[in-house]
Structures are given as C-alpha cells and as structure tokens.
Amino acid sequence: MFFANKVGHYMDIASSLDEAGEHRSYTVIGQVFFSSADKFIAAFDFKEAVDKVTIDLSRAHFWDITAVAALDKVVIKFRREGTEVEVLGLNEASATIVDRFGVHDKPDAIDQLMGH
C-alpha cells in the first residue's frame, strides 16, 4: 500500500481553455489506478459551461478497473451536463483495459448500467 500511495502522487492533470471559452482541454500525466482514481475525478470541472472537453491521455497509463471506472465516471458526468467529450491518446495497454472494462464509449453498456 505504501508503494501504491507513493506512485499515486505521480499524477497531474493540467487544463487549458480555448480563446472562445467553448473548449476545455485536459492533459493527464502519470499513473491512474485505485490509489489515484479519486484525485483523477476531482481534477475535472463538470459544471463549467463549455461545449466540448478533450481528455488527452497520451502521457498517462491506466492500470486497473478502478482507473477505468474513474474515466467512465468523468466522461459520463460531462455528457450528462451536455458537453461533448473526446478521449484521445491511450497507449496500447491502457486502451486494452479501457476497451475491455469501460462503458463510456459503449451506448448499450451505458443503458444497462443506468437500468434502461
């Protein structure tokens, strides 16, 4: 647990807003897993009135299903607010686990999750 806690601190999320104030880009850097999932979720502003959010994961790595669930939660929360979301840059290993366990990019899975 000590190691997980230590490595969990090596995650950072930077964001920038375009000049029109309509598109927020988030860049995730570091390791996302059970120890850093709450920090990951807390870094996003779901109430900001933007039309589009881009989440750049090209410098991040997703290790477990807790991390995947955190990504799902972020994407779904933005979509509930009416914000278009683009997730890009997943490395091959992260893409594999997100494809296998994630629901944010599978409409049928989201409906089942929501009980529809």
CATH of the domain at 34: 3.30.750.24
Contacts for 75-80: CB closer than 8 Å, 24+ residues apart: 75/104, 75/105, 76/103, 76/104, 76/110, 77/44, 77/46, 78/44, 78/46, 78/53
Q: What is the pLDDT of residue 91?
A: 98
Contact 23, 54 (CB under 8 A): yes
Percent of the chain with pLDDT over 70: 84
Q: In total, how many domains does the chain have? A: 1
Residue range(s) defining the domain that contains residue 56:
2-114
pLDDT digits (tens, 9 = 90+) for 83-109: 999 999 999 999 999 999 999 888 776
- 68 close to 32: Cβ distance less than 8 angstroms: no
Give per-residue pLDDT as tens, 36-65. Answer: 999 999 999 999 999 999 999 999 999 999
pTM: 0.85
